[in-house]
Amino acid sequence: MSTYRIPFNRSSLMGRELQYIAEAMLVGQIAGDQAFTKKCHALLERELGVAKALLTTSCTHALEMCALLLNVGPGDEVIVPSFTFVSTVNAFVLRGATPVFADVRPDTLNLDEARLESLITPRTRAIVVVHYAGVACEMDAILAIAARHGIPIVEDNAHGLGARYRGRTLGTLGALATLSFHETKNFTCGEGGALLINDARHTERAEIIREKGTNRSRFFRKQVDKYTWVDVGSSYLMSDVLAAFLYGQLEAWQTIQSRRRRVWETYDAALADWAAAHNVRRPIVPPGCEQSYHMYYLLLPSLDARSALIDHLRARGILSVFHYLPLHLSDMGRRYGGQPGDCPVTEDVTDRLLRLPFYNELNESDQSDVIAAIHAFEF
């Protein structure tokens, strides 16, 4: 049990999750790619307008599949934001690639497209973008640069399921994209993810990599009469028990998103005056971006102010958390040559960003307590 009266995150049943788990168990087939996995694939493909969706055990594993699909290896460089979760980078480092850390824009905290081209070398094999907080990167500029150099884009869309950029759904813009269904995400099954494939040249090999390097998917479709080892791979399939849970969540799409939208808009309206008076920045959603209502964050004026606000909220039983330490300054990042000053915006915001409690069942009374506690914070 959380020791906090108002936790940072709490998962909840939003629809028929338990009924679907029972159905999966009654059928008795709960390995990967069974009935509920297929339902999730169809729902994601339909809702997002993506050619192919494959459930995976996590977003981390979907990113690892991207690295395998793009044949990234030693000597290759992959451009990644420093302001991201470790898996965005690790997936490529696992294949022996060298990460090249990009800074982010001060407004959206997304990869800074203005500095992207200067990071490209003849060895660049992929550009990975993260749509932070489910607000889109400046994709027109990024796609144009990538196209000019013939470099594939991977969208790490862990935060942005359902969000849009100029009318286009996030996850449909890069050659490949990934989703997360970790418990902190809008739609969850505890641990889970998905690979989205927009470049059809990757589809058949993705099925093979996900099935331990075998052509078992073709065998199940009766396209071959036995299956065998045909490529490298691993076991990236989600159990159908989790897919059943996830399907219950995905079916509750409208309910979940309208609740999260209410939470986000309540914070934003209630904190506007306080933020303006205290030099605190609220999230920026540029025109043309429809966000996913994944999180609500504040940028405090200093590290000291952030630490004091965390303590102030903790004393009132409220858990708030910071996000992403700059990867280029981590122990691993420094092994790849990361130095202070390489990504100044990342280095600045990492000390100042604070995420407020945000979950589907955050009720009005608890959210009012969070807001009142922030209003009462003196600094």
Ligand X SMILES: Cc1ncc(COP(=O)(O)O)c(C=O)c1O
For the CB of residue 110, give the shortest distance to ligand X in the complex, in Å: 11
Choice between 7 and 317, CB closer to ligand X: 7
* Distance separating alpha carbons of residues 113 and 336, to the nearest angstrom: 22
Give least dist CB 322 to ligand X, A.
13
Beta-bridge mates of residue 299: 281, 353
Nearer to ligand X, 131 or 205 (CB): 131
Q: How far is the CB of 179 from ligand X (least distance, A)?
A: 8
- The residue assigned the tokens 């939208």 is 261
Contact by Cβ (8 Å): 376, 368: no
In the complex, minimum distance from the CB of residue 192 to ligand X, in angstroms, rounded to a whole number: 7
Distance CA 31, CA 132 (A): 33
Beta carbons within 8 Å of 35's beta carbon, 6+ residues apart = 24, 27, 29, 240
Taking Cα atoms as reference points, which of 97, 102, 132, 130 lies closest to residue 116?
102
Q: Compare residues 216 and 245 and give the one whose CB is closer to ligand X.
A: 245
Query: Which CB, 60 or 198, lies closer to ligand X?
Result: 60
CA nearest to 178, candidates 210, 146, 218:
210
Q: Counting runs of H as helices and runs of E as strands, what totals does the chain give? A: 13, 12
Smallest separation, CB 191 to ligand X (Å): 6
Name residues whose C-beta falls within 8 Å of residue 266's C-beta, 6 or more positions apart in sequence. Answer: 364, 367, 371
User: In the Cβ-directed half-sphere of 345, how many Cα atoms lie within 13 Å?
Assistant: 17
Which parts of this chain interact with ligand X (CB under 6 A)?
Answer: 58-60, 84-85, 87-88, 130, 156, 158, 180, 182, 193
Distance CA 269, CA 95 (A): 45
Closer Cβ to ligand X, 37 or 87, answer by number: 87
Whole-number minimum distance, CB 155 to ligand X, in Å? 10
What DSSP character marks residue 156?
E
Nearer residue to ligand X within complex by CB, 110 or 214: 110
Order of all β-strands in the sheet with 164-165: 168-169, 164-165, 289-290
**Direct distance between the N- and C-terminal alpha carbons of the chain, in angstroms, rounded to an integer:** 32
Closer residue to ligand X, CB minimum distance, 238 or 374: 238
Q: Which is nearer to ligand X, 59 or 305 (CB)?
A: 59
| Minimum gap (Å) between residue 130 Cβ and ligand X | 5
Cβ-based nearer residue to ligand X, 182 or 205: 182
Q: 104, exposed or middle or buried, with CB in 10 Å at 0-12, 13-18, 19+?
A: buried
Minimum distance from CB of 77 to ligand X (Å)?
Answer: 20
**Minimum CB–partner distance for residue 195 and ligand X (Å):** 12
Compute CA distances 207 → 50, 54, 226, 239, whole Å.
Answer: 16, 8, 16, 15
83 vs 267, which CB is nearer to ligand X? 83
Asked whether 295 and 320 are in contact (CB, 8 A), the reply is no
Query: Measured between alpha carbons, how far is 47 from 44 in angstroms, rounded to an integer?
Result: 5
SS3 assignment, position 235: strand
**Least separation in angstroms between CB 131 and ligand X:** 8
